[in-house]
């Protein structure tokens, strides 16, 4: 476990190494970035295999950083952190493989990419609230440049919108962080210590929604979701994969790790009703369900293929937030499982749409694509997209089925009618998936197949096999993740949540 810190250090060192490679030899930069990502993934997998299954927190490194304020450089991991670190490693490797064709400012691209990966690793491993916030903010900077420089449709607008939304959410998180620090006696920002601190109920009642919304902005919660489809559509393929795959998970992780773990009594009933709502649990559960149905419905009428996948991500992230609000073991474990599952599946969808299709046809318009016989020209892409869509709609045998089934069972126990509405969202998801698949690969094919397209490259095939293999393995053998998730939810860090509003 002590090696886990090197996922962060290697990513930042890899970024430096990439910038030092010869400008006239971009292949060296690509290989350096890939080796760095592979090393991080290897460390993450070894740590997950040998990780503690008892639910205890394992400290990686803990040393004073700003002792006058009680701030520490504290990296640690439990089962939830470990699986998200593995997800980051898989997404990093796949993103580099699908970016092998980048020709413009190659060194800058991969350097920024590795900085973003290092910051994401840092968020998932930070157990000092100030350190977590620092890594969370570092991740915003490369996101902006990756979209603004290498993006496509309205890239400057999309990059700025993403950053503004991110900073607005961060401001709420910072306000909650400072308030928690003051109320706790200005002694520590250690997450483990704060998780056991008895914050007053009246403080938790307002601190919880402030911090939860601050993180949920990045998780794509309706109505603060509008940055996500725009950002996904404008971003280059690797950045889209990271945005949907791991960056949105930073928000969901913060909702669970900070808002719910530190302020669980903020989820208790208010004692009165406003517009039919009697607790923040009900408010955020309704917003999650709206996000599920709204995202799927908007995806159903989109003409741009990348916007279809972008809005589908909003819909699927709604399952994560709904699972968190069930406040029962099966719903919460399903939410964490969905974080991993959606990260893999969304990354694969954006890889097919952005790299395999758009980079070759130079269009994402479904009407244009329907006139190109892509199933004959790019059979590998067609098969990959079919399997990715099957995983996305939650067919048995894929990880999405396990995740969404758990969330629906958990929500049925907490809010039966919301579970039914979420089920409608799944049905709409099947409709937009079929529509996108039919238009993209199995349309009229008016254009002749003589217009040859570049073949699918070996890096693309390897990236697709990595992501497809991950979702199939976890769909067939969910214990690989559940043995890490369940003990963590039953561990001491979530003791206050279980003692208070756990059902």
Give, as one character, the DSSP assignment of residue 202. H
Per-residue pLDDT, averaged over 112-122, amounts to 91
Residue 448: predicted pLDDT = 52
Average pLDDT for residues 350-359, to the nearest whole number?
A: 83
CA 1 – CA 7 distance, rounded (Å): 11
- For residues 315-324, give the mean pLDDT: 90
Provide, rounded to the nearest whole percent, the portion of the chain with pLDDT above 90: 13
Question: What is the per-residue burial (b if ≥16 Cβ within 10 Å, else e) of 183-216?
Answer: ebeeebbbbbebbeeebeeebbbebbbbbbbbbb
- Average pLDDT rounded to a whole number, residues 263-282: 80
pLDDT band at 238 (very low <50, low <70, confident <90, very high): confident
CA nearest neighbour of 501 among 260, 242, 312, 248 = 260
Q: pLDDT at position 418, please? A: 84
pLDDT for res 121: 92
Q: What's the whole-number average pLDDT of the chain?
A: 85
Please say whether the dihedral angle defined by the alpha carbons of residues 114, 119, 123 and 127, taken in this order, is positive or negative: positive
Confidence at residue 500, expressed as pLDDT on a 0 to 100 scale:
65
Per-residue pLDDT at 501 exceeds 70:
no
> Of the candidates 83, 77, 78, which has an alpha carbon nearest to the alpha carbon of residue 41?
83
Predicted local distance difference test score (pLDDT) of residue 70: 81
Determine the 3-state secondary structure of 453 from DSSP. coil
Q: How confident is the model over 154-165, as a mean pLDDT?
A: 84
pLDDT tens column, 8-36: 999 999 999 888 888 788 888 888 889 99
Count the residues in the chain: 503
pLDDT at site 357: 83
Give the pLDDT score at 86: 92
What local confidence, expressed as pLDDT, does residue 230 receive? 82
Segment 245-260 shows an average pLDDT of 88
Q: State mean pLDDT over 200-220.
A: 89
What tokens were used for 396?
């048995």
pLDDT, residue 118, reads 92
Task: Look up the pTM and report it.
Answer: 0.90
DSSP string covering 247-308, please? IHHHHHHHIIIIIIHH-GGGGS--SS-BTTB-SHHHHHHHHHHHHHHHHHHHHHT-SBHHHH
Q: Is the pLDDT of residue 498 over 80?
A: no
Overall average pLDDT of the 407-429 stretch: 87
Q: What percent of the chain has pLDDT over 70?
A: 97
pLDDT in tens, 433-446: 888 888 888 766 55
pLDDT, residue 23, reads: 77
Q: How large is the average pLDDT for residues 147-173?
A: 84
Instruction: Tell which wins on pLDDT, 52 or 282.
Output: 282
447 pLDDT tier (thresholds 50, 70, 90):
low
According to DSSP, residue 454 is labeled P
Kindly report the backbone phi and psi dihedral angles of residue 61, in degrees, each rounded to the nearest multiple of 5, phi listed first.
-155, 140
């Amino acid at each position: 476990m002590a090696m886990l810190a090197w996922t962060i250090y290697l990513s930042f060192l890899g970024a430096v190494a990439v910038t030092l490679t010869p400008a006239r030899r971009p292949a060296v930069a690509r290989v350096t970035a890939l080796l760095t990502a592979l090393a991080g993934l290897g460390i993450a997998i070894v740590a997950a295999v040998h990780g503690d299954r008892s639910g205890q927190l394992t400290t990686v490194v803990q040393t004073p950083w700003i002792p006058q304020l009680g701030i520490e450089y504290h990296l640690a991991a439990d089962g939830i952190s470990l699986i998200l670190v593995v997800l980051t490693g898989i997404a990093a490797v796949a993103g580099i493989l699908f970016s092998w064709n980048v020709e413009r400012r190659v060194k800058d691209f991969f350097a920024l990419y590795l900085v973003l990966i290092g910051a994401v690793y840092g968020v998932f491993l930070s157990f000092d609230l100030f350190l977590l916030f620092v890594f969370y903010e570092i991740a915003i900077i490369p996101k902006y440049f990756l979209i603004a420089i290498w993006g496509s449709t309205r890239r400057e607008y999309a990059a700025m919108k993403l950053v503004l939304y991110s900073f607005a959410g961060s401001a709420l998180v910072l306000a909650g962080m400072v308030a928690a620090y003051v109320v706790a006696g200005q002694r520590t920002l250690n997450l483990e210590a704060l998780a056991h601190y008895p914050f007053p109920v009246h403080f938790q009642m307002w601190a919880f929604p402030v911090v939860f919304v601050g993180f949920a902005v990045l998780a794509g919660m309706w109505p603060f979701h509008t940055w996500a489809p725009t950002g996904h559509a404008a971003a280059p393929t690797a950045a889209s994969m990271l945005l949907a795959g791991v960056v949105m998970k930073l928000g969901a992780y913060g909702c669970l790790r900070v808002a719910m773990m530190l302020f669980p009594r903020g989820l208790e009933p208010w004692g009165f009703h406003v517009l039919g709502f009697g607790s923040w649990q009900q408010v955020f559960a309704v917003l999650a369900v709206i996000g599920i149905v709204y995202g799927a419905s908007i995806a159903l009428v989109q003409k741009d293929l990348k916007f279809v996948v972008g809005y589908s991500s909003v819909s699927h992230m709604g399952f994560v937030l709904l699972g968190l609000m069930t406040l029962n073991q099966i719903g919460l474990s399903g939410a964490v499982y969905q974080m991993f599952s959606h990260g893999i599946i969304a990354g694969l969808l954006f890889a097919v749409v952005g790299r395999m299709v758009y980079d070759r046809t130079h269009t994402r318009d479904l009407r244009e694509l329907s006139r190109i016989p892509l199933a004959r020209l790019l059979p590998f892409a067609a098969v990959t997209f079919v399997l990715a869509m099957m995983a996305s709609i939650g067919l048995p045998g894929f990880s999405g089925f396990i995740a969404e089934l758990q969330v629906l069972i958990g929500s049925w126990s907490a809010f039966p009618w919301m579970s039914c509405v979420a089920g409608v969202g799944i049905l709409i998801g099947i409709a937009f998936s079929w529509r996108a698949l039919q238009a993209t690969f199995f349309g009229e094919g008016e254009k002749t197949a003589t217009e040859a397209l570049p073949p699918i490259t070996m890096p693309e095939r390897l990236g697709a096999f990595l992501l497809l293999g991950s979702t199939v393995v976890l769909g067939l053998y969910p214990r690989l993740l559940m043995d890490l998730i369940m003990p963590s939810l039953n561990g001491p860090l979530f003791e206050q949540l279980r003692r208070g509003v756990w059902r």
